[in-house]
Amino acid sequence: MYTSISDGIDGNANGGDEREQAFNARLDRAMKIEPSDWMPEAYRKTLVRQISQHAHSEIVGMLPEGNWITRAPSLHRKLILLAKVQDEAGHGLYLYSAGETLGTPRDEMVAALHSGKAKYSSIFNYPTLAWADVGAIGWLVDGAAIINQIPLTRCSYGPYARAMVRICKEESFHQRQGFEIMWTLAHGTTAQHAMAQDALDRWWWPSVMMFGPPDSESTHNEQSQRWRIKLFTNDELRRKFIDQTVPQSEKLGLRIPDPQLRWNERTQHYEIGPIDWEEFYRVIKGDGPCNKDRLQTRIDAWEDGAWVREAATEHARKRAERSDAA
Amino acid sequence: MTKGWPQWEVFVRSEAGLAHKHVGSLHAADVRMALENARDLYTRRNEGVSIWVVRSEDVHATDPDEAEAFFEPSEDKRYRFPTSYHVPEGVEHL
Amino acid sequence: MNARVEYVLRFGDNALVLAQRLCAWVAHAPIMEEDVALANVSLDLFGQARLWLAYAGELEGAGRDEDALAFHRGAGEFRNVLLVERPNGDFAETTVRGYFYDLWASLALAELSRSKDERIAAIAEKARKENAYHLRRSEDWMIRLGDGTEESRSRMQRAVNDFWRYTGELFLGDEVDATMREQGVGFDPTALREPWLERVRATFAAATLDVSSDVWMQRGGKQGVHTESLGYLLAEMQVLPRTISGAAW
């Protein structure tokens, strides 16, 4: 017997204990799980949710920075930004491709995004109001994303881990270009410096929130860590981000908008003021400044493109018919 | 709504002399588009000199349930490897 | 202005303005694979524009670099053909505009790659390879969408009818063209018309589209007289360097 790799794998509902034990044994030995291997339904579901959310974040994430492609202030910056936003489309596609190996077609994942059922990173519901925001996103948001993503190159699911390896490699320039923009602005004219500080003021807290709710309130941590699809907790990753970013802000000569921020000698970590979790949950629920616009833009692109996708399908059908007749 | 475009698996030869390697998948309506999309998506950083695309439904795989029958029998056939043989000291070119 | 500066600017501005149009598609394309593909074309064209504009600046000798030329000239100083500045419209309009340009550019760049001006020849040679891929893609899309559904065919035919009036200018010569041709630097644009039409007819036959006829041709872009849409394109593109002057980015 053989299987086609595009079939997806059905339920495996009667997997039974033996298969589950074998699956757990593989996890314990840090072996990868591959698409056609048996896996518990909950593992599959959680992965589809996590991978598709990640993919949606890449795709929706194109929009805030994409705003500035047509207005980038030099040809050099324009090329960098365009290549970066293009990478995000590419990374979305690598991730959907990994998600599809679990048997859920991309169109289905995208439909869940458009209906509002699927989530994406809440950071992209904030507006990019000035050119410095492009710098702040590269420096802070991509900086946070890298911290999240690097451990995932070692996650248990083969296609996801391989996609993450490719993505991390390609994204290595993303954070640097953002920092370079901030550096240039911070050392530029007074107006430019003010623009950079303003961007940091607006993007700092949303970036800190990107790692998700505190461990005490996070619902998926434990099981996901057992499955090795989450290797560190939200708070561990957040701390790492703060520890590496604060010194960078000092080098830039920009002020982190947190009066309670201070270095703790004893723990050798920074301590920050309280995070406004109410804002976080409000933005996730759809009340961020741009939730509606972002989603509508994606829906419009999809709906406006329907005739193109249909035409290409029809043309392929006609061609196949002609070559059959010949 | 018409059904989505078919899925294709993409294989890239990264340089002359190396085999094509699986890099991921994509969607395209026809084979020319699949090759063009593969070029645009998977070789943005000079990663390829040749691309194969295959409809995902045409790639067939062994069933993991039969992995024992397929792969374990070769495990104990050490005699297929040169390291299983004793070469007396001083004998060369063997 | 020096004829050669003028001449080089025309190619630079064509690439720059079309690239600026195309980059606005990214994140809005009919399918995500096409976001990536359109970004690639746009990146190629911006890259070409930089090479042309940098050279134009050097030839001019007034200390203007690629960014000074891109961000600090008004619409009347741009030398691109009208075709490339026309708005994106729907995917059919973008496809038809791209195909008309890509096909013309494939012929023009082949001529320029034999230019006596080595710098021009080198830029054209690099651009020619990129352009060959753009043409492959746009021709494929012409055929797919022309010979697709009823709706796609009618959108494509409408786009062809709209854009045809901007194709005449591609093959019109003026004094600058004549001077460049005499010097062995440039080519005669009228000579490209027949080969261009021949390939258009072949593509349109496969795409089941009709070639427009009896259309009054618009002109003026090469001399700096543009359509209204260029002013908006430049206002958006140039806003930052013009707002904060004297800044590095």
Query: Is B61 contained in some domain?
Result: yes
Q: Which chains touch B (3 or more CB pairs under 8 A)?
A: A, C
- What does the DSSP assignment read for B16-63? TTSPPEEEEEEE-SSHHHHHHHHHHHH-TTS--SEEEEEEGGG-EEE-
User: What H or E segment, with its residue span, contains residue C93?
Assistant: helix C91-112
Among candidates A86, A92, A306 on the partner chain, residue whose Cβ is nearest the Cβ of C26:
A86
Q: How far apart are CA B31 and CA A58, in angstroms?
A: 27
Backbone angles phi, psi at B53, to 5 degrees: -125, 140
* Pairing of the two strands A2-4 and A262-264: unpaired
Among all residues of chain B, which has the CA nearest to that of A8?
B57
Q: Which of C154, C152, C121, C145 is nearest to C206 (CA)?
A: C145
Q: Is C47 on the interface with A (CB under 8 A)?
A: yes
Q: How far apart are CA C30 and CA A60, in angstroms?
A: 15
- Where residue A2 falls among pLDDT bands split at 50, 70, 90? low
Interface of A with B in 145-164 (CB under 8 A): 163
What total number of domains does chain C contain? 1
Among candidates A82, A181, A311 on the partner chain, residue whose Cβ is nearest the Cβ of C144:
A311
Q: What pLDDT does A325 receive?
A: 85
Q: What is the pLDDT along chain C (249 residues), one digit of tens a residue?
A: 699 999 999 999 999 999 999 999 999 999 999 999 999 999 999 999 999 999 999 999 999 999 999 999 999 999 999 999 999 999 999 999 999 999 999 999 999 999 999 999 999 999 999 999 999 999 999 999 999 999 999 999 999 999 999 999 999 999 999 999 999 999 999 999 999 999 999 999 999 999 987 899 999 999 999 999 999 999 999 999 999 988 999
What total number of domains does chain B contain? 1
pLDDT digits (tens, 9 = 90+) for C170-194: 999 999 999 999 999 999 999 999 9
Query: Is C54 contained in some domain?
Result: yes
Query: Is B22 contained in some domain?
Result: yes
Q: What pLDDT does C207 receive?
A: 98
CATH of the domain at B43: 3.10.20.520
- The nearest CA of chain B is from the CA of A126 a distance in Å of 28
Q: How far apart are CA A159 and CA A148, in angstroms?
A: 17
User: Please, are residues B6 and C33 in contact by the beta-carbon 8 Å criterion?
Assistant: no
Angle between helix axes C118-146 and B31-42 (nearest 10 degrees) is: 140
Query: Is B93 contained in some domain?
Result: no
User: Please, are residues C40 and B40 in contact by the beta-carbon 8 Å criterion?
Assistant: yes
Among all residues of chain A, which has the CA nearest to that of B39?
A90
Q: How far apart are CA A211 and CA A145, in angstroms?
A: 9
Size of the B and C interface in Cβ pairs below 8 Å: 25
Query: Is C16 contained in some domain?
Result: yes
User: Please, are residues C45 and C19 in contact by the beta-carbon 8 Å criterion?
Assistant: yes
Cα A271 off chain centre by = 26
| Partners of residue A36 in chain B, C-beta under 8 Å | 61, 63-64
Backbone angles phi, psi at C245, to 5 degrees: -85, 155
Among candidates C40, C140, C144 on the partner chain, residue whose Cβ is nearest the Cβ of B40:
C40
Q: Which domain holds residue B49?
A: 7-84
Where on the phi/psi map is residue B17: left (φ > 0), alpha (ψ -120 to 50), or beta?
A: left
Among candidates B28, B30, B41 on the partner chain, residue whose Cβ is nearest the Cβ of C36:
B41
- Where residue B76 falls among pLDDT bands split at 50, 70, 90? confident
Count of CB atoms situated within 10 Å of the CB of A296:
12
Query: Is C248 contained in some domain?
Result: no
User: Please, are residues C186 and C177 in contact by the beta-carbon 8 Å criterion?
Assistant: yes
* Pairing of the two strands B60-62 and B7-13: unpaired
Look up tokens 């709209």; give the residue.
C162
Interface of B with C in 24-43 (CB under 8 A): 26-30, 32-33, 36-37, 40-41
- Whether B27 sits inside 8 A of C144 (CB atoms) is no
Q: Residue A273 in 3-state DSSP?
A: coil
Among all residues of chain A, which has the CA nearest to that of C54?
A75
pLDDT digits (tens, 9 = 90+) for A274-296: 999 999 999 999 999 999 999 99
Residue at B13: amino acid letter: R
| Partners of residue B41 in chain A, C-beta under 8 Å | 90, 93
Q: Which domain holds residue C111?
A: 3-243
Among all residues of chain B, which has the CA nearest to that of C43?
B44
Distances (CA, A) of C34 to A61, A115, C160: 17, 23, 21
- Average pLDDT over chain B reads 92
Interface of A with B in 6-45 (CB under 8 A): 6-7, 34, 36-38
- Whether C26 sits inside 8 A of A62 (CB atoms) is yes
* Pairing of the two strands B60-62 and B50-55: unpaired
Q: What pLDDT does B36 receive?
A: 97
Helices (H), chain A: 16-28, 41-60, 62-66, 75-100, 106-114, 131-136, 142-152, 158-186, 190-209, 221-226, 234-252, 277-282, 291-304, 306-325
- The nearest CA of chain B is from the CA of C241 a distance in Å of 30
pLDDT digits (tens, 9 = 90+) for C22-35: 999 999 999 999 99
Among all residues of chain A, which has the CA nearest to that of B56?
A6
Structure tokens, C16: 């720059």
- Whether A307 sits inside 8 A of C67 (CB atoms) is no
The ipTM of this complex is: 0.97
Decide: residue A281, CB within 10 A, 0-12 exposed, 13-18 middle, 19+ buried.
middle
Q: How far apart are CA A190 and CA A196, in angstroms?
A: 10
Q: What pLDDT does C118 receive?
A: 98
- The nearest CA of chain C is from the CA of B17 a distance in Å of 24
Residue at A108: amino acid letter: E
Q: What pLDDT does A232 receive?
A: 94
Q: Residue B13 in 3-state DSSP?
A: strand
CATH of the domain at C61: 1.20.1260.10
Decide: residue A247, CB within 10 A, 0-12 exposed, 13-18 middle, 19+ buried.
exposed
Query: Is C11 contained in some domain?
Result: yes
Size of the A and C interface in Cβ pairs below 8 Å: 138
Q: What is the pTM of this model?
A: 0.95
- Whether A308 sits inside 8 A of C145 (CB atoms) is yes
Decide: residue B15, CB within 10 A, 0-12 exposed, 13-18 middle, 19+ buried.
exposed
Q: What pLDDT does C45 receive?
A: 98
Q: Which chains touch C (3 or more CB pairs under 8 A)?
A: A, B
Residues of chain B whose beta carbon is less than 8 angstroms from a beta carbon of chain A are 1-5, 7, 9, 23-27, 29-30, 33, 41, 44-45, 55-64, 66
Query: Is B45 contained in some domain?
Result: yes
- Whether B33 sits inside 8 A of C140 (CB atoms) is yes
- Whether B36 sits inside 8 A of C40 (CB atoms) is no
The answer, yes or no, to whether residue B3 has pLDDT greater than 80, is: no
Look up tokens 């940091």; give the residue.
A200
| Partners of residue C236 in chain A, C-beta under 8 Å | 70-71
Structure tokens, C119: 């710098």
Q: What pLDDT does C213 receive?
A: 79
pLDDT digits (tens, 9 = 90+) for C89-118: 999 999 999 999 999 999 999 999 999 999
Q: Which of A144, A291, A117, A293 is nearest to A209 (CA)?
A: A144
Q: How far apart are the first and last CA of chain B?
A: 67
- Whether B63 sits inside 8 A of A315 (CB atoms) is no
User: Please, are residues A9 and A103 in contact by the beta-carbon 8 Å criterion?
Assistant: yes
Query: Is B34 contained in some domain?
Result: yes
Q: How far apart are CA A98 and CA A224, in angstroms?
A: 18
User: Please, are residues C101 and C83 in contact by the beta-carbon 8 Å criterion?
Assistant: yes
Q: Residue C142 in 3-state DSSP?
A: helix
Query: Is B90 contained in some domain?
Result: no
Query: Is C83 contained in some domain?
Result: yes
pLDDT digits (tens, 9 = 90+) for B39-68: 999 999 999 999 999 999 999 999 888 888
Q: Residue C117 in 3-state DSSP?
A: coil
